[in-house]
A and B are shown apart, each in its own frame.
Chain A
Amino acid sequence: MQNKIQPNETLDCIGLSCPMPLLKTKKKIKKMKSGQILEILGSDPGSKNDLPAFAERAGHEYLGENEDDGFSRFFLKIK
């Protein structure tokens, strides 16, 4: 299912550790429109908890994650 998601924007957070992936995500979302999909690339295992938790708190829809080679892809739909 997740392979078919076409993101409007991609944010590269590979190599960043807590709290940078979350801060960059927040900043990126501010510039995006409602309904758009953001793809976040990250290598910090902490992001697997932080990003869904952030999405829930902020009201965005967490669409899921994909494992890639050495990093993960996270998908958020902006509220």
Chain B
Amino acid sequence: MKDVINLKVKWTCQKMKIFCEIIHNCYSKIFYENWPFWFAGVLIGIMSILTFTWERPWGVAGGLKNWGDSFFYMTGLYSQKPSSPFFTASSILTIGLLYGSFTSALMSKQFALRPSSIIETIKGILGGSTMGIGAAMAKGCNIGGFYSAISSMSLGGICMMIGLFFGANLGIRYLYWELDNIPSSPTKKIHNIKKKRKQFNFFQLQPFLGFIGLLLAFVSMWFYAQNAYTKIGGLLLFGILFGVILHRSRFCFVRFFRDPFMSGEANMVRAVSYSIIISLIGFAILKWTGLRGEMVFVTKTFWFGGLFGGAIFGFGMVIAGGCGSGSIWRAGEGHIKLILSTISFALTTSIVNKIIQSYPEIKKIMGVRVFLPEYITYGWSIFLIICIFCFCSLLFTWNERTEKFIIEM
């Protein structure tokens, strides 16, 4: 009898061990290995549709503008009170993005406050400010002004896309010039900061902190729902999911515009293309069926605001090392340069937006709304945009082999 019980205990322990191993492998796959770009691209496309279906298209710069507005109102510069960051759709999406990438970094043991050299810090601040100007002109960053705008079939979004290529190109040329002409700052100070942390292995604790973080997020969503703000709670969840997806795959929209000219790689070009095509089809369905307004995210940016805003933004994002979404998920991982970039982005975009709104002549120059299906029907609009991205993917895949577009160092 005793033997039977012993055997059963042994058998149960073995099964438990296998179960724990499976859980550990699952966790590893999600949080220790990087997600492939194409997979993240598809997820982002789906998430983009879900977010728009829930409430509104995904954006990042809108939230940053709200934060900038709130700051300037609190310091007395603005007289008009902006809507509360915790109850505004644009802001909560960006809060979610930041929080999601932060908890993802914790659960992957990748969070660390990473100081940067003086030059990198300056580039972060200036890059962020430049992006702030570009985003105000183009009425959105890489996400709002390019990704969601093109999904919305706004011609202004295509103008921004062209501008972004030019801006990124200039940004790369600047970086090459900097490599040749500006010596890098000594990093001895950074080494000293690192040594202090030797005592306590913070990294082992991180997954537990991350898990608590996620629980807190769910509690917040519950609170929102209890107080009739379920939609905002939902946007928080979507923002967090975007944050996790971007962080785990290290998805960088900047690379769509930068890689073909710098390293020649086209895997991000392909990933963003798949993503935007999926998102486009979902948006077209939502708009055509009348479930969502046709003019949503079709902004008055054709063509000056889109094109030149895009070029200015494109330059800034290469200097900063991240666009709107990229700066935020890297800020969530602890990169000081990108934290500063996000702050200067928020402040600058708030001011420039105020300027544009205050001067009707300037506002007019930025452009008009052009909803493509109004001119060439839904079918042809979808076809045209798919063609544009298929063309980009093919062209830059060709460039991967031939390296014709790479700017020489």
Query: How far apart are the CA atoms of A30 and B179 in the complex, in Å?
Result: 13
For chains A and B in complex, what number of residue pairs have CB atoms within 8 angstroms?
A: 73
Query: Interface 1/0s, chain B 366-409, versus A by CB < 8 A?
Result: 00000000000000000000000000000000000000000001
A22 and B263 contact, CB distance less than 8 A: yes
- State which of B116, B190, B197, B262 has its C-beta within 8 Å of the C-beta of A19: B262
Report chain A residues within 8 Å CB of B335. Answer: 17, 44
Within 8 A of A (CB), among B186-234: 187, 190-191, 193-195, 197-198
Q: Are A27 and B258 in contact (CB under 8 A)?
A: no
CB of A15 within 8 A of CB of B117, answer yes
Query: Is the pair B338, A70 in contact by a Cβ cutoff of 8 Å?
Result: no
Interface centre among A24, A44, A45 (most CB of B within 10 A): A45
List chain B residues, Cβ under 8 A from A63. none
Given the interface pairs A15-B190, A17-B330, A18-B252, the reply to whether A70 lies near B112 with Cβ below 8 Å is: yes
Q: Are B114 and A43 in contact (CB under 8 A)?
A: yes
Complex: how many Å from CA A61 to CA B287? 51
Are B321 and A17 within 8 A (Cβ)?
yes
Fill in one digit per residue for B302-331: 1 if any A CB lies within 8 Å of its CB, else 0: 000000000000000010011000000010
- Give the complex CA separation of A78 and B333 in angstroms: 32
Decide if A54 touches B263 in the complex (CB within 8 Å): yes
CA distance A16 to B116 in the complex (A): 6
A32 interface hit (Cβ, 8 Å): no
Q: Tell me the chain A residues, 32-55 only, with Cβ under 8 Å from chain B.
A: 43-46, 49, 53-54
Q: How large is the interface on B (under 10, 10 to 19, 20 to 34, 35 or more residues)?
A: 35 or more
Residues from chain B with Cβ under 8 Å of A1 in the complex:
none
Distance from A9 Cβ to chain B, minimum over Cβ atoms (Å): 15
Q: Give B35 Cβ to nearest chain A Cβ, in Å.
A: 11
Determine which residue in B112, B321, B322 has the highest number of CB atoms from chain A within 10 A of its CB, and name it: B321
Are A17 and B114 CB-contacts (below 8 A) given A49-B250, A54-B263, A69-B194? yes
Contact flag A23-B179 (CB < 8 Å), given A14-B190, A17-B120, A70-B194:
yes
| Interface: B265 (CB within 8 A) | yes
Chain A residues lying within 8 Å of B120, measured Cβ to Cβ, are 15-17, 20
B13 close to A (CB within 8 Å): no
Closest residue of A by beta carbon distance from B121: A15
**CB-nearest residue of chain A relative to B118?**
A15
- Give the residue of B184, B198, B258 whose beta carbon is less than 8 angstroms from that of A69: B198
Give the CA-CA distance A4 to B148 in the complex, in Å: 51
Residues on B with beta carbons closer than 8 Å to the beta carbon of A44: 114, 335
Q: Does A79 reach chain B (CB closer than 8 Å)? A: no
Binary flags per residue of B112-132, CB closer than 8 Å to A gives 1, else 0: 101111001000000000000
Complex interface: chain A residues within 8 A of B300 (CB) = none
Q: How many Å lie between the Cα of A64 and that of B333 in the bound state?
A: 24
Give bound CA distance, A12 to B120, whole Å: 14
Nearest neighbor of B336 in chain A, beta-carbon distance: A15
Q: Would you call B195 and A57 a contact (CB within 8 A)?
A: no
Task: Name, among B116, B120, B176, B262, the residue most crowded by chain A CB atoms within 10 Å (CB to CB).
Answer: B116
Interface set, chain B 147-204, CB cutoff 8 A to A: 175-176, 179, 184, 187, 190-191, 193-195, 197-198
By Cβ-Cβ distance, the 5 closest A-B pairs, closest first, are A70-B194, A15-B116, A15-B117, A15-B190, A14-B187
